[in-house]
């Protein structure tokens, strides 16, 4: 800003002086002359002009000074020392070299910070922000966007941190995020089987108790409850209330178990949550996907679909056995039709295949043979855990088994791939063959994991079944073939059932004994099946040593081996089974190395869900039988992580039991 020019004031002064001088000269002799009076008039005009310009000059000066003061104040505000945005400069050792007044004001009870490490003043690690980037930070009830700029000084490198206050924006964002709608899909597990044989009045009483439970848990929330069907419900609520349920680990699951059907059977729920979608319709789809995942993992749990996958809560009960055979019959017929339309059938299990996977594959091979379609079992015989069974397959069905590399060169778009005893992409025998197959059928009994096989043409997934061999045998029962099942095929299927049920002790239902009786009628010899479980004397010694050196951590037994032994996978699983016979042991774990990996074989008697424990360590499996395989740690490190997870799990269970007892006392 510049001042106005002074040329008019200067001209008025000159005119005033000139007219005054001429008037003085003419006053003595020409005062009566017209020229004299003209000069007098000119003098008066000059006086008036000079006075007017003088007033304008004064006003302009005052205005100029005021504007200059305002400009100086603004300039001072933009100076680093007086800026409203907190600033701090650090040296290469993250020590404070300089800070402005705003930074000192945002830290209560601030003292002299010069030379003090930044992290000792505010909870921010200097390396948490990279050059040119920014992070958000909560600092003393305010929310800041912290950015960093690096520059060079003569004495070394320095870093400038700028703290932009975005509290209002963060509050608005949090309010928006918390008030977004989310959808909960809820299903009563095994509704038909649960209420079979009950009176209508008893069913109505149970459902009324359940709806009362919903009303009590949703009281005080901005939620909409919908009764979609007798066994299906939907809740539309806000994200903040859903997060509260998540933090409490969905108390609805525990409260529902207190409702008894027929006076003895607990009612269980499966919950699917969708809250990461953009619209309500998208959240409804996510909720349905989450519900399918919860049901696929055995029910009695809540599943939440997130951007990175699924999060699970609950899953502590054993569940109720399915007695409805209509689904098995329908899948069996659909599989038969698929085989008739295909030119070749490839059958594949999981890596390090066991008797259940190989036995189920033999059963599918029998179905393909009776259908008249060429078939092959895709297996790596050098890494299988069912070596005795594969040797018999080589004798009874020569040329049937092929390695995955051969199958990849032969498979076409008209061929069918049947995957048995696994639902996970991570542990399938050959994931590349799965990706190449156009038509895929999955038959599995394990609880569904996050990275599951998704592009399936047909699937039979029953987490309540004892084994994949049981599912395959159940399908064969519904197919009317011209030939009787060979004795070898029946024994292979029976060996898979016996393996996963621990000789009909674990995870055994009514249907398990039905299919076992069917296989026995087809000539399965239990003695011959028992020979498939034979082991060497060295393996027996290794297993005995593992069991004798096991450690007890509360209710958990842990054994570990640091050297990779022959047949270590079989030995570890057998040792874990034997440790369950120790008094007071609810779950057993064997940690061992295999093929450059640190592995865990986990078993339980049903009271402890080892699947949830293994999932926390990057593995998975079934409620009573699970495993973990990791390459990023050693056996000792994995054992330490396992012990830590076990203590955390035990603490959570004790806290839940304590809370339940307190609620019962209050009730």
Domain boundary, last residue among 314, 340, 358: 314
666 in a structural domain: no
Are 309 and 368 in a shared domain?
no
Residue 601: inside a domain:
yes
CA distance 604 to 627: 12
Least confident segment among 259-273, 308-322, 375-389: 308-322
Number of domains in the chain: 5
Between 134 and 61, the higher pLDDT residue:
134
> Distance between CA 229 and CA 227 in Å, rounded?
6
Assign residue 624 the CATH number of its domain: 3.10.310.30
Residue 320 lies in a domain: no
**Where among 104, 137, 171 does a domain terminate?**
171
Is position 24 within any domain? yes
Q: If you compute the radius of gyration of the chain from its CA atoms, what whole number of angstroms results?
A: 41
For the stretch 544-598, pLDDT in tens is 888 888 888 888 999 988 888 877 888 888 888 888 888 888 899 999 998 888 9
In the predicted structure, residue 324 carries a pLDDT above the cut 70: no
Is residue 603 one of the residues assigned to a domain? yes
Which class for 131: exposed (0-12), middle (13-18), buried (19 or more C-beta within 10 A)? exposed
Mean pLDDT of 613-618: 86
CATH number at residue 439: 3.90.1640.10
> 54 and 23: one domain?
yes
- Does 158 lie in the same domain as 231? no
CA-based nearest residue to 237, from 308, 229, 250: 250
Does residue 321 have a pLDDT over 50? no
Distance of CA 91 to the CA centre of its chain: 39
| 252 and 186 both lie in a single domain | yes
What does the DSSP 8-state code read for residue 188? E
Question: Domain containing 564: what range?
Answer: 537-659
Query: What pLDDT does residue 1 have?
Result: 42
Residue for token digits 């011209």?
Answer: 482
Residue 544 and residue 490 share a domain: no
456 and 491 share a domain? yes
Whether 2 is in a domain gets the answer no
User: What pLDDT band is residue 315 in, cutting at 50, 70 and 90?
Assistant: low
Residues 110, 69, single domain; the answer is: no
Same-domain check for residues 398 and 421: yes
Instruction: Please state the rounded mean pLDDT for residues 442-452.
Output: 75
CATH code where residue 135 lies: 3.30.450.20
Rounded to an integer, what distance in angstroms lies between the CA atom of residue 136 and that of residue 246?
25
Between 192 and 635, where is the model more confident?
A: 635
For residue 197, pLDDT beyond 80: no
- CB-count burial class (<10 Å; 0-12, 13-18, 19+) for 108: exposed
Establish if 1 belongs to a structural domain: no
What SS3 class is residue 104? helix
495 and 546 belong to one structural domain: no
Q: Band of the pLDDT at 320, cuts 50, 70, 90?
A: very low
Q: Are residues 631 and 520 part of one domain?
A: no
């Amino acid at each position: 800003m510049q001042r106005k020019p002074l040329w008019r004031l200067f001209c008025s002064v000159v005119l005033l002086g000139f007219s005054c001088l001429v008037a003085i000269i003419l006053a003595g002799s020409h005062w009566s002359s017209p020229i004299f009076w003209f000069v007098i008039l000119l003098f008066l005009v000059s006086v008036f002009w000079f006075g007017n310009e003088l007033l304008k000059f004064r006003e302009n000066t005052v205005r100029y000074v005021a504007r200059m003061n305002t400009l100086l104040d603004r300039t001072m505000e933009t100076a680093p020392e007086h800026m409203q945005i907190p600033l701090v400069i650090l040296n290469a050792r993250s020590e404070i070299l300089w800070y402005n007044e705003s930074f000192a004001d945002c830290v209560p009870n601030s003292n002299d910070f010069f030379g003090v490490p930044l992290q000792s003043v505010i909870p921010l690690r200097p390396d948490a922000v990279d050059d040119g980037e920014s992070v958000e930070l909560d600092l003393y009830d305010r929310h800041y966007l912290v950015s960093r700029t690096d520059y060079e000084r003569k004495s070394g490198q320095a870093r400038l941190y700028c703290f932009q206050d975005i509290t209002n924006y963060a509050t608005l964002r949090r309010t928006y995020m918390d008030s977004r709608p989310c959808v909960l899909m809820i299903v009563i597990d095994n509704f038909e089987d649960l209420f079979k044989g009950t009176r209508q009045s008893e069913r109505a009483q149970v459902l009324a108790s359940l709806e009362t439970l919903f009303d009590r848990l949703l009281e005080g929330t901005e939620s909409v409850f919908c009764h979609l069907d007798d066994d299906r419900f939907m809740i539309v609520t806000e994200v903040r209330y859903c997060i509260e349920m998540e933090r409490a680990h969905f108390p609805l699951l525990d409260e529902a178990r207190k409702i008894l059907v027929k006076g003895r059977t607990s009612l269980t729920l499966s919950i699917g949550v969708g809250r990461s979608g953009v619209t309500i319709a998208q959240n409804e789809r996510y909720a349905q996907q989450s519900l399918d995942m919860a049901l696929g993992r055995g029910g009695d749990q809540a599943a939440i679909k997130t951007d990175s996958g699924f999060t699970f809560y609950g899953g502590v009960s054993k569940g109720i056995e399915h007695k409805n055979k209509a689904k098995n019959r329908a899948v069996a017929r659909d599989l038969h039709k698929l085989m008739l339309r295909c030119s070749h059938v490839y059958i594949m299990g999981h890596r390090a295949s066991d008797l259940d996977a190989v036995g189920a594959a033999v059963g599918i091979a029998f179905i393909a043979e009776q259908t008249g379609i060429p078939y092959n079992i895709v297996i790596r015989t050098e890494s299988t855990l069912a070596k005795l069974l594969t040797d018999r397959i080589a004798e009874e069905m020569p040329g049937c088994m092929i390695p995955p590399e051969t199958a990849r060169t032969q498979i076409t778009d008209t061929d069918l791939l049947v995957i048995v005893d696994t639902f996970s992409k991570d542990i399938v025998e050959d994931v590349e063959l799965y990706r190449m197959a156009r038509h895929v059928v999955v038959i599995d009994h394990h609880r569904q994991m996050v990275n599951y096989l998704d592009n399936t043409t047909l699937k039979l997934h029953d987490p309540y079944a004892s084994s994949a061999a049981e599912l395959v045998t159940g399908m064969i029962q519904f197919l009317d073939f011209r030939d009787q099942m060979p004795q070898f095929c029946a024994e292979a299927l029976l060996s898979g059932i016996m393996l996963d049920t621990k000789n009909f002790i674990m995870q055994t239902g009514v249907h398990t004994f039905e299919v076992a009786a069917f296989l026995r009628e087809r000539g399965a010899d239990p003695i011959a099946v028992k020979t498939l479980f034979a082991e060497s004397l060295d393996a027996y010694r290794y297993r005995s040593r593992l069991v004798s050196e096991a450690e007890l951590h509360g209710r958990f037994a842990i054994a570990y081996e640091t050297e990779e032994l022959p047949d270590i996978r079989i030995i570890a699983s057998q040792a874990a089974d034997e440790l369950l016979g120790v008094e007071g042991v609810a779950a057993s774990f064997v940690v061992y190395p295999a093929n450059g990996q640190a592995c865990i074989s986990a078993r339980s008697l049903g009271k402890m869900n080892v699947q949830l424990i293994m999932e926390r360590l990057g593995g998975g499996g079934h409620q009573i039988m699970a495993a973990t395989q990791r390459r990023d740690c050693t056996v000792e490190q994995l054992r330490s992580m396992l012990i830590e997870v076990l203590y955390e799990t035990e603490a959570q269970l004790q806290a839940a039991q304590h809370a339940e007892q307190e609620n019962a006392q209050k009730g």
